[in-house]
Amino acid sequence: MEAWTGRWRAESGFSAPLPPWDGPATLVVVFGSGAVMDAAAEPPGADGPHGPLAEVVAAYPRSVLIGCSTAGEILGETIEDGTLTIAVTRFRSTRLTLLERDMGGTGDSYLTGRDLAEEMLAADGDLKGVLVLSDGLLANGAELARGLSEACRGRALVIGGLAGDGIRFEQTRVLSGGRPRSGVVTLLGLSGPDVRIGHGAGGGWSILGPERRVTRSEGNVLHELDGRPALGLYRNYLGDRMGPNPESTLLFPLSVRTTDDPRSAVVRTVQAFGEDERSMVFTGDIPQNSMARLMRANMDELIDGAGDAVETAELVDGLPVLALVISCIGRRAVLGQRTEDELETVLARLPGHAQVTGFYSYGEISPTGPGTSALQNQTLTVTTIQELTS
């Protein structure tokens, strides 16, 4: 296995020449802002500029290409906006399978995830892991992850994330046939006896207050906690620390669990207030009768939590490493100018030769227990890919 990462900027072009590794065993991963990806996709002779994404597609016509729009592009320990990051990995024996579905405006995310995973498992019985990149606005990330996880039944690691659109939340894109499109879910399967996929997730949030039961909810709308209106309870408990709009609650997400296993807990971020019903809308589902607890941010603990994501990756010493980092836009908003500190912490715990790329997302899909994956918010995830040598 060989891995290379680079970045394209409008003012300077590609940071280095693209490696000449085209072939069916080559994986090309591209992350970029939506506007840049749209402009960058135009091929020579089309109405519009000849962009760098078209150059990448032209350089790798036989390779497997995946990618999506972001809320910030990660390369190494840096994060930028308005760029493209490119990771090219040439495998020796690992098999790559790419599937996709068009969600449309009314697609069933659970069925989409289930059907994609079942098709992937039928295509290759030696599946080790699946990487999902999904539209971040039209898909229900929690239901998509549930469908993927239930269909895989622990036979393959399920990881990935939801595409972003900066702070605009207007339209997200996923690469399909080398072009950015909305409403698309892609699933990459990695198979074979030599591929090694490691994964970890880090939070760093502190507990705030007692655990409460969700006594009324509908999907991602939380109406009541312990029989009390959710918005009123939040405001009464947080007092002056909670402002008048959802952005003020980024420091206070909600931890939600549906089982007695604490590893099953997922973090949910407030997306909107329902003033009339005194409800709160979150970025993922809040199941009725689940247990919920407020969390609060501590900058140093968030950064340390990012480093913890590497600890469970179980890397094989001496082998090349491609590391995909997917972190939440909420973490970036909370950390502000210290955002790169969490990336530096991740890199400090990876081998020095690791090639690191990724993006800030609208949600992270990662394991929450044996054979189970779920949608997370306010989490940094790290997926490492290696290949044993003969």
Q: pLDDT tens-digit profile of 284-328? A: 889 999 999 999 888 888 888 888 888 888 899 999 999 999 999
d(CA 66, CA 132): 10
How far is the CA of 345 from the CAs of 77, 165, 362, in angstroms? Answer: 9, 25, 22
Domain span at residue 225 reads 206-295
- What pLDDT shows up at residue 40? 64
> Is residue 82 predicted with pLDDT exceeding 90?
yes
Residues 6+ apart with CB under 8 A from 12: none
Q: Within this chain, do residues 228 and 370 fall inside the same structural domain, yes or no?
A: no
- The reported pTM is 0.89
- Mean pLDDT calculated for residue range 359-370: 91
Total tally of structural domains belonging to the chain: 2
Of 70-74, 81-85, 106-110, 284-288, which gets the smallest average pLDDT? 106-110
- Mean pLDDT calculated for residue range 219-243: 91
Q: Within this chain, do residues 259 and 273 fall inside the same structural domain, yes or no?
A: yes
Q: Within this chain, do residues 30 and 173 fall inside the same structural domain, yes or no?
A: yes
Q: Within this chain, do residues 130 and 191 fall inside the same structural domain, yes or no?
A: yes
- To the nearest 10°, report the CA torsion of 67, 69, 75, 80: 160
How far is the CA of 266 from the CAs of 16, 112, 178, 221, in angstroms? Answer: 39, 22, 33, 16
Domain edge (last residue) among 267, 295, 323: 295
Q: Within this chain, do residues 307 and 369 fall inside the same structural domain, yes or no?
A: yes
Kindly give the residue spans of alpha helices, DSSP state H, lying in 125-164: 141-152
Closest CA to 7 of 81, 339, 16: 16
Q: Which residues are paired to 214 by β-bridges?
A: 225
Q: Within this chain, do residues 18 and 145 fall inside the same structural domain, yes or no?
A: yes
d(CA 364, CA 374): 8
Of 41-50, 124-133, 136-145, 287-296, which gets the smallest average pLDDT? 41-50
- What pLDDT shows up at residue 50? 61
The Cβ-side half-sphere exposure at 102, using a 13 Å CA radius, reads 6
The overall average pLDDT reported for the chain is 90
Q: Within this chain, do residues 291 and 215 fall inside the same structural domain, yes or no?
A: yes
Q: Within this chain, do residues 35 and 172 fall inside the same structural domain, yes or no?
A: yes
**The total number of residues written for the chain in this structure:** 390
Q: Within this chain, do residues 190 and 126 fall inside the same structural domain, yes or no?
A: yes
d(CA 228, CA 246): 19
- What pLDDT shows up at residue 172? 94
How would residue 88 be classed by pLDDT, with cut points 50, 70 and 90?
A: very high
The secondary structure of residue 205, as a DSSP letter, is P
How would residue 49 be classed by pLDDT, with cut points 50, 70 and 90?
A: very low
Tokens 């970045």 belong to 7
Q: Within this chain, do residues 247 and 367 fall inside the same structural domain, yes or no?
A: no
Q: Within this chain, do residues 174 and 73 fall inside the same structural domain, yes or no?
A: yes
- What pLDDT shows up at residue 42? 58
Phi, psi (rounded to 5 degrees) for 248: -70, -15
- Mean pLDDT calculated for residue range 265-273: 86
pLDDT tens profile 154-164: 999 999 999 99
Q: Within this chain, do residues 219 and 318 fall inside the same structural domain, yes or no?
A: no
d(CA 342, CA 323): 15
Domain edge (last residue) among 264, 279, 295: 295
- What pLDDT shows up at residue 246? 79
Of 10-24, 123-137, 153-167, 265-279, which gets the smallest average pLDDT? 265-279
